[in-house]
A and B are shown apart, each in its own frame.
Chain A
Amino acid sequence: MPATTVLDVQGLHRRFGSTEAVAGVDLRVAAGETVALLGPNGAGKSTTLAVILGLLSPTAGQVTVGGRTPHQAVADGLVGAMLQSGAGSGLPSRTRVGELVRFVASLYPAPLSPPAVLRHAGLACLAERKLDRLSGGELQRVRFALAICADPRLLILDEPTVGLDVPAQRSFWETVRAFAAGGCAVLFATHYLAEAAETAGRVVVLHHGYVVADGTVDEIRRTVTLRRVRFRAPDTDARVLRALPAVQQFRQADGVISLDSTDSDATVRGLVRSGTTFRDLEVTGAGLEDAFLALTCEEPA
């Protein structure tokens, strides 16, 4: 394994009873890289992250964090995490921000200093505040503060902006980007394409427990934003149409030709150049997987 790989997931499977939540995920994250794990609910994002953190054991496959097992990586403070906690805060009662950060930092072998943690998390002026007096956005910063106490090499964030309003989301991601600039790799789960696009250099798309795409946002947009080119044509040569630029799939029914294309402009130009006679041309969004449509259309609330 190259020295720069901070997370290496190989052939990961995780089964719950008869359902396979993760069905063969390979994923590598390099030191300092920010990667979004994008997928709809139920795609296997949270399960993958829980295995990476050692909270769940894999049914098959291997996970190493900084070359160690997930448990060892947690014990050595290589990894920090912010998980979803449903309705609960994920935080203890009757404590203050600074006190909680000092306690959690004291558990790690080589922690960031508590004042530095508070500064990075934007909590410096709230150190003496009681936790039950904080807003939702401030509580999220506290959870972030606890995740970076270890001075981790890998930060795991599971849908960290769920339930935050837009300004709180923006300022939260600014905080994450500023911290990641110090060299910490970040792997975060989200079901918003926009969020992935703004923050991550690389996006891994998970669907039904599989990695269906892995690349920059633009690369992924190109591969998944299929368009459907439809027209009527009395005499056609299927071989010519199949050979048109960017065509992925060809269908013909009742004189209507339907072409799925990754670049509909190029396909139409090619169609005109091929000299095929056609009428009633229309270009529509292709029948993409519902899941991915949901991803691309949905903006953060």
Chain B
Amino acid sequence: MKTHRPRLASFLAFELRRMLRSPGILVWTLAFPVADYLLNFDNKTNNPGAQRWAGTTWAVYFMVSMCAWAAIAAASSAGGARLASELANGWTRNLRLTPLPSWAYAAGKILTGVALALMAALALSLIAGAVARPQLPASAWAAMILACWLGSLPFAALGILIGLAAGTSVAQPAMVAVVLVLNVLGGLLWPLPVFPNWLQDIAKVLPTYRLADLGRAAVTRHALNPADMAFLVAWTLLFAAAAAWRYRASQVEQA
């Protein structure tokens, strides 16, 4: 008798292969953060600010932001429009007629997102490192990538929530809009200190800010900030609970 673990591994491998075949995902996850980094990493006027806010250079500060951006986009793409269309076309229901349990289906989708986020964070930091050549110890690089990887978890759950809640035609634009708004408000595009105070207070609650902050702390202090982690765990639970509720509701509608 097989246990569930090889089934989950099998599903994860199948999902990852399919995701990596899609050219759209490369554009969605890497095109924007790479382009924005190449255009803006050399912005000398932001340097004093970066030193004041985070104790590091703007090139490093902005690298963390764009690394977080890439990880967020990658993690959320495992759900979103792909999930919506698989629900609509009947593939998800056909999978329910196999021994793959529904928790393993959800876990497989989330792990796919998280694995893609790791690849995206690695790719972005390699490109950024090659271009900007920031002077960072290897441990800081590793800590930043680890932070972006762990911090992508709530966004994998968010992608699944959007895929479940939005129809096939709405899921893609809804995903782009939600991710863009969260990224901009979370200070990934413009650093948070340039926002008015009231907006900074809102931004500090958002998972995007917390992910970038986790990354910055990892680079400058070689440590994972527990407050950031607590926020990210809370967001993960919130998105996952909403997705589970949405899934149950959809089952009732079908019945």
A→B interface (CB under 8 Å): 16, 53, 55-57, 74-77, 79-81, 83, 85-95, 99, 103-104, 106-109, 143, 146, 149-150
Contact = CB atoms under 8 A, between A and B. Distances in A.
Given A56-B255, A83-B94, A106-B7, A94 B18 contact: yes
Given A89-B89, A91-B91, A108 B99 contact: yes
Interface of B: 1-2, 6-7, 10-11, 14, 17-18, 21-22, 82, 85-86, 88-91, 93-94, 96-101, 255
B93 A107 contact: no
Contacts of A57: 255
Contacts, number: 79
A36 B99 CA distance: 26
B6 A106 contact: yes
Contacts of B255: 16, 56-57
25 contacts: A16-B255, A53-B97, A75-B99, A75-B101, A83-B93, A88-B90, A89-B90, A90-B93, A90-B94, A91-B89, A92-B18, A93-B85, A94-B18, A94-B21, A99-B14, A103-B10, A106-B10, A107-B10, A107-B11, A107-B99, A108-B2, A108-B99, A109-B1, A109-B2, A143-B94
Given A88-B89, A90-B89, A92-B91, A74 B97 contact: yes
B7 to A, nearest CB: 5
Given A85-B89, A89-B90, A107-B10, A94 B22 contact: yes
B99 A76 contact: yes
Contacts of A86: 90
Contacts of A106: 6-7, 10
A106 B4 CA distance: 11
A87 B90 CA distance: 9
Nearest to B15: A92
A90 B6 CA distance: 24
Given A56-B255, A88-B88, A93-B18, A107 B98 contact: yes
A53 B97 CA distance: 7
B99 A109 contact: yes
